Chains A and B, each alone.
Chain A
Amino acid sequence: MEQQFKIEIQSGTTSDTVHFHGNIDSHADSHFEELNRKISKKMVVFDFSGVGRINSMGIALLLRSIKSIKTEKDAQISIQGVNQINSMLFKMTGIYLLAPETKRL
């Protein structure tokens, strides 16, 4: 069944790690509005290991969020924990051009 979407931010010494949980679709919109102002570091990691499905609306939300954080916070974003299908979507839509994938330590 559908997982309730939520975002958790773990603030480290040099970076913020954003953990996404659940499906990313139109219902996630309000959560993304909050995300930008909660980012404080110049290095940001988006962790998708708790994410299920990301549909086209979710891709739009991610693109908007990544661009906004990069522009308004002057931060670098990297991506980790992406499953097979979502990795393909990120390649197809150019998300990896904005935020490259990194392997988790």
Chain B
Amino acid sequence: MFNLSKHGRVICSPAAPISCSDFHEIHEWPVQSSEDKEEIIDRVGRLIAGNDESHEFLRQRAALMADEMLENALYCAPRDTSGNQIYAKGEKRSLVPGEEIVLRCAFDGEKLFLEVSDSWGKLSPETVQGYIAINLAHDTSTDRAGRGLYFMWKFMKDFYVNLAPGLKTSVGGFLLLNPDSYEYGAI
């Protein structure tokens, strides 16, 4: 398991698992196909009850994070034996036998926990660091790999990647209702 600092460095390896004991209830929603994505994103949004600007902004960030995490699990994680991506983004697909993708989330009124796990176990610390490094340069390259991971790292507090090589990758962190730092999404 590793966390990444705001400079993109690995700061904790290994690290203790993030504690979710503060949350009254943790929701687990398995994904069966790419068609489930929007429904699951909607469920995450419905957890964040509140009509003010802070809640709306949290819903916007949560929807984006869930979208990026699920897209990565559905399309970037599956690799063939040569390491090539198996599915193209946007392609409709069902999970293959033995494949698992699960979104876990919880909201305590102040912070939202979000995590997506896949059963491929392909995302190394070096890969994540590399993606964040290339996305830190604001040179407007069009087809830049890892932009979704960069968004997660930018918006989430305690962003982490938990890797069991070849078995499981979990990507997660927290979104704050009232972020006090630009690093986590405050304006």
Contact = CB atoms under 8 A, between A and B. Distances in A.
A56 B60 contact: no
B172 interface: no
A93 B147 contact: yes
Given A55-B64, A84-B57, A94 B90 contact: no
B140 A63 contact: yes
Given A56-B151, A64-B142, A26 B89 contact: yes
Looking at chain A, what size class is its interface with the partner chain?
20 to 34
B117 to A, nearest CB: 20
Contacts of A95: 140
A105 interface: no
A79 to B, nearest CB: 14
Interface residues of B, number: 27
Contacts of B61: 85
B158 interface: no
A84 B140 contact: no
A27 B63 CA distance: 17
Contact of B187 (A29, A55, A84): A84
9 contacts: A1-B39, A2-B38, A53-B63, A54-B64, A56-B148, A57-B89, A88-B187, A97-B138, A98-B140
Interface of A: 1-2, 25-27, 29, 52-57, 59-60, 63-64, 67, 83-85, 88-89, 92-95, 97-98
Give the top 6 A-B pairs by smallest Cβ distance, nearest first.
A26-B90, A94-B140, A56-B147, A85-B60, A56-B148, A2-B38
